[in-house]
Structures are given as structure tokens and as C-alpha cells.
Amino acid sequence: MSSDSSGTTAAPAHQGDVLVVTDVVRRFGDLVAVDGVSFRIAPGETYGLLGPNGAGKTTTISMVAGLLPADAGTITLLGRAVGPRHTDVKRHVGLVPQDLAIYPELSARENLVFFGRLQGMWGRALTARVDEVLEIVGLADRAKDATKEYSGGMKRRLNIGIGLLHQPTLLILDEPTVGVDPQSRNAILESVEALSHEGMAVLYTTHYMEEAERLCDRIAIIDSGRVQAEGTRDELIRLTGELDRIRLTGGGDVPEAAAAVRALDAVASADADRHSVLLAVRDAPTAVAGVVTAATAAGMTLDDVEITRPNLESVFLQLTGKALRD
């Protein structure tokens, strides 16, 4: 891995990368929607574009999906150029647009068969794959119903099913959980995790921090058309310089416990009051065992241990000066 000046890790330059996006620019009139974006995705990797509405996420994936040409820069998928006129390479891309890209008058099966045929799938292979996808997205029992009768969550699941029907090398999901109930959202996230485990590369855009943290191996924080930072979740959080917090609550000799944990290497600071000690630590999950041991050894009886870690929201706030959902 190579490190840039900000301390985050850029994707490793690897011949096996599924997608390589290099210095891509896209303008709409005077507006520069995407301004020099670069990233790469390895096989089986889930890569997140995290940013608020209007940050340039959808324009970026539109170029990656070959819907829009880039004004500058290059995009290659499996080493082949991507663009509106490069039709063959599109066979390796599965696009799940933010809008529900399904036909309301057709059933789920008919939608899948239609798009399958456009992907060049025919006959028994198509039928078998359609059955498989209907099972994956949990719509097998409603496969013959017109999709206009479906709930929002069912439509979202079908929307994803169409994207993965032809088993693409790269699956692009553009805000796939917008407007979805919690149960369907969880089902969608589980599907994406399963696909990633099967080796599919996933490009996932969202403005939901929790989704990015849960799904993405690496994340690019994008704002105003630029990648502000890129890396794993932990790498991005380290950018803020913020430490994890551990709060010990209980009785006994609280001041003595505070003094004991303050001496630990992982602990940067420890402030005590009558019933609790608040610690600033590096890597709380690793440090918590030592902290608890030291505190109890110093005579504190613990009622509760609470860990708080900085999240991507705070990273975004620090990098852009605004909240993620502004």
C-alpha cells in the first residue's frame, strides 16, 4: 500500500484491479460536477463513495457505467476503456440506479427476462438465472405480479436483482436504500455483503454513514466533485486526530482507578468525578480489557463500561466543514 500526504492509503496499483478511474473530470456548462476524481477497485472489494447530495457521486458512477463520457481523465474496466460508445465492456457492469428502473406494467419475472435478453442471455440459462435472482431478492412468490402492485422495498429489491442478473464483474449501486423501510434496508445490505463475499466488486454510493461503515472495505469521501479523502474506515478516522472514548461508571475508589488507567500506554487522558472515569484512548476495542483490569485492581467496582468511537460523520465534518446530510 502507498500512503499519500494525508496519511490515508490509496488503492494499490494492481494489474488485477477491476476498475481504475484516473483524474476524471465532467462539466455541465460552467459547473464542474466531477473534478479530477481517481480511485480503483479490486475484485471482491466494496468501495464506497460517501458524500452529501450534489457531491458528484451519481455523475461519477454515470461515467463508470458508460452513460456519460468524461471530459477528461480515463476509466478502465478490466483494462478496457469505458464510455457510452464502448458497448462490449458494459456487459461486465451491473447498474442499480438511484431511481427505480423497472417497468410497472411488467411482472418481476418479465422485468428480469427483458433486461436479461438485452444482456444477451437467452433460453434455459436465462430462465434458471431469473429463478435464482428472484430467490436472492426474495420475490419468488410474487414473481408473476405486476411490479406496480409492489411495495417500495420490493421494488428496490427487484431494482438490485436486475443489476446483478447477468453476474457482472462490477456492481454499481447508487443510493440503493433511499426511501426503504428498515427491514428491506437490512435485506439489501445483507445482499450486498453476500455478493462481495462471492468476489463481486461493488461500487456503492450513499450518504448514509452507517451503510458505508458497515459495507465498504474502502471509502472515498467526496464533496464538490472532489475526493476529499480515501481509505479504510480506521484510516479516515485517524485523519481527524480524534481518540476513542471509554467511560467507566461505578463505585469504590474512583480517583485511584483514574490514576491507575492514566498510566496505561493506550490512554491519553483520564478525568474522574465521583462515580465515573472518562478516558481518551487509542483503539478502544483493543485497550478496553487493560483499562477494566487496571481500574478494578485499583479498587473501583464497575457498573457499566461504555465505548464511543469517532465516526465518518466527524471525519466529513472536519474535511468539508459541513455535516454529511447538509
How far apart CA 44 and CA 67 sit, in angstroms, is 24
For the chain, how long is the longest CA-to-CA vector? Answer: 75
User: Which DSSP symbol is given to 151?
Assistant: -
CB of 120 to other proteins, least distance (A): 7
Cell of 109: 419475472
- Spatial separation of the C-alpha atoms in residues 83 and 74, rounded to whole Å: 9
User: Torsion angle of alpha carbons 209, 212, 214, 218, nearest 10°?
Assistant: -140
Size of the residue set binding other proteins (CB under 8 A): 32
Asked if 69 interacts with other proteins (CB under 8 A), we say no
Residue 130 CB, shortest distance to other proteins, in Å, is: 15
Spatial distance between the Cα atoms of 225 and 57, rounded to a whole number of angstroms: 8
Q: Does 304 bind other proteins (CB under 8 A)?
A: no
Instruction: Single out the residue of 79, 84, 179, 251 in contact with other proteins (rule: CB under 8 A).
Output: 84
Establish if 115 lies at the interface with other proteins (CB under 8 A): yes
Stretch that binds other proteins, among 41-49, 86-94, 178-186, 281-289 (CB under 8 A): 86-94
Region near other proteins per CB under 8 A, out of 41-49, 59-67, 69-77, 300-308? 59-67
Q: How far is the CB of 141 from other proteins (least distance, A)?
A: 22
Distance, in Å, from the CA atom of 267 to the CA atom of 280, rounded to the nearest integer, reads: 6
Residue 123 near other proteins by CB under 8 A: no
In whole angstroms, the minimum distance from the beta carbon of 81 to other proteins comes to 14
- Angle, nearest 10°, between helix axes 108-118 and 152-164? 20
Interface pattern 150-189 for other proteins (x via CB under 8 A):
------------x---------------------------
Measure the CA–CA gap between 109 and 117, rounded to whole angstroms. Answer: 12
- With H, G, I as helix, E, B as strand and everything else as coil, classify residue 41: strand
Residue 65 binds to other proteins (criterion: CB under 8 A): yes
Q: What is the DSSP letter of 12?
A: P
Residue 80 near other proteins by CB under 8 A: no
- Point out which residues bind other proteins (CB under 8 A): 62, 65-67, 84-85, 87-91, 93, 95, 97-106, 110, 114-115, 117-120, 146, 162
